[in-house]
């Protein structure tokens, strides 16, 4: 193969190296060494037209990065590129390292303005866990307890609620008025019996002509005892989430002033349109 043919033959490989981030001289020398097998500085210069000082400089760089090796005890010095498989593997390793650095950098940048969660969070399952979580929450209430859950669930903590009333804690409950029509445990009088100021929010949809909405509300009524939220002014919240089939209690307990303030803000927005039952 003539010198010109060899120069033309390495062009696609040179371009491929450069697309991967190699410099032009690095790409040319790696390509020609792969084509020739073993070569001297003079031949590399001949086939690539890379200036001699740059050939020496680039060979040192490629050897340092383990893409080529210099044969010892040869005069003039001879250089060989590692096999294509090894070159590709080292390129992949290098890119993985760069990708990891980029990932770490991006994560660090995203955390500069990301909202910070300060507090604790813990899931719980079962009636015993519910008792433990809620009793601890009620014990720490200072002046106000806000709830949106069934009176049946609240009645599990009748003794603790009585203690809150004796301490002068304000108790308020909130529910959608339509639920009281399909869920016996959502009747307003039950909350009043427990000592809560009970408020209802009317959803602006007529239930009589809207059978679909009625059915949705009825389905919610079937799981209402396993659904709800209890917010303490001391920075704790217990959230009940229904399991399917709904055979036990499941939820999360959160202790965070930031989260509780947001929950109370949403709760208070509903109170603006609620009516005392």
What secondary structure, in 3-state letters, does 203-226 show? CCCCCCCCHHHHHHHHHHHHHHHH
Q: How far apart are the first and last CA of the chain?
A: 96
pLDDT of residue 2: 73
C-alpha closest to that of 121 among 16, 277, 259, 270 = 259
Going by their DSSP bridges, the two strands 78-81 and 38-40 should be labelled as antiparallel
Q: What is the mean pLDDT of each run of 10 residues along the chain (277 residues)?
A: 81 92 93 91 92 94 92 85 90 84 77 61 90 92 94 94 95 87 87 94 61 56 82 91 76 86 85 83
Q: How far apart are CA 126 and CA 144, in angstroms?
A: 26
* Residue 266 neighbours by CB under 8 Å, 6+ apart: none
C-alpha closest to that of 167 among 234, 215, 122 = 234
pLDDT of residue 58: 95
pLDDT of residue 222: 66
Residue 196 per-residue DSSP state: -
pLDDT of residue 1: 62
Longest Cα–Cα distance of the chain, Å, equals: 102
- Do 185 and 151 contact (CB within 8 A), yes or no? yes
* CA 104 to centroid of chain Cα atoms: 15
Read off the pTM.
0.54
pLDDT of residue 274: 84
Beta carbons within 10 angstroms of residue 170's beta carbon: 14
C-alpha closest to that of 247 among 110, 147, 127, 139 = 127
pLDDT of residue 246: 62
pLDDT of residue 234: 85
pLDDT of residue 245: 60
Domains identified in the chain and CATH numbers: 3-82 (1.10.10.10), 120-276 (3.30.870.10)
* CA 273 to centroid of chain Cα atoms: 34
pLDDT of residue 208: 52
Rg (CA), the chain: 36
**Tokens encoding 258:** 């930031």
């Amino acid at each position: 193969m003539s010198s010109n043919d060899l120069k033309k033959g390495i062009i696609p490989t040179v371009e491929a190296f450069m697309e991967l981030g190699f410099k032009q001289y690095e790409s040319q020398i790696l390509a020609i060494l792969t084509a020739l097998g073993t070569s001297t500085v003079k031949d590399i210069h001949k086939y690539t037209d890379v200036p001699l000082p740059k050939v020496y400089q680039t060979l040192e760089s490629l050897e340092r990065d383990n893409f080529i090796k210099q044969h010892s005890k040869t005069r003039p010095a001879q250089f060989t590129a590692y096999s294509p498989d090894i070159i590709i593997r080292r390129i992949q390793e290098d890119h993985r390292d760069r990708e990891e650095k980029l990932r770490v950098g991006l994560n660090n940048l995203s955390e500069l303005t990301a909202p910070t969660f300060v507090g604790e969070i813990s899931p719980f399952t079962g009636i015993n866990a519910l008792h433990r979580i809620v009793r601890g929450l009620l014990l720490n209430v200072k002046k106000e307890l806000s709830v949106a859950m069934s009176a049946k669930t609240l009645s599990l903590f009748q003794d603790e609620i009585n203690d809150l009333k004796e301490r002068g804690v304000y108790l308020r409950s909130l529910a959608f008025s339509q639920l009281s029509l399909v869920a016996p445990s959502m009747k307003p009088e039950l909350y009043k019996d427990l000592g809560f100021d009970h408020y209802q929010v009317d959803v602006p949809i007529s239930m009589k002509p809207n059978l679909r909405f009625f059915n949705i509300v009825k389905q919610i009524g079937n799981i209402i005892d396993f659904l709800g939220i209890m917010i303490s002014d001391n920075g704790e919240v217990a959230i009940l989430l229904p399991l399917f089939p709904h055979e036990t209690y499941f939820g999360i307990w959160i202790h965070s002033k930031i989260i509780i303030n947001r929950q109370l803000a949403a709760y208070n927005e509903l109170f603006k349109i609620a009516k005392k039952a």
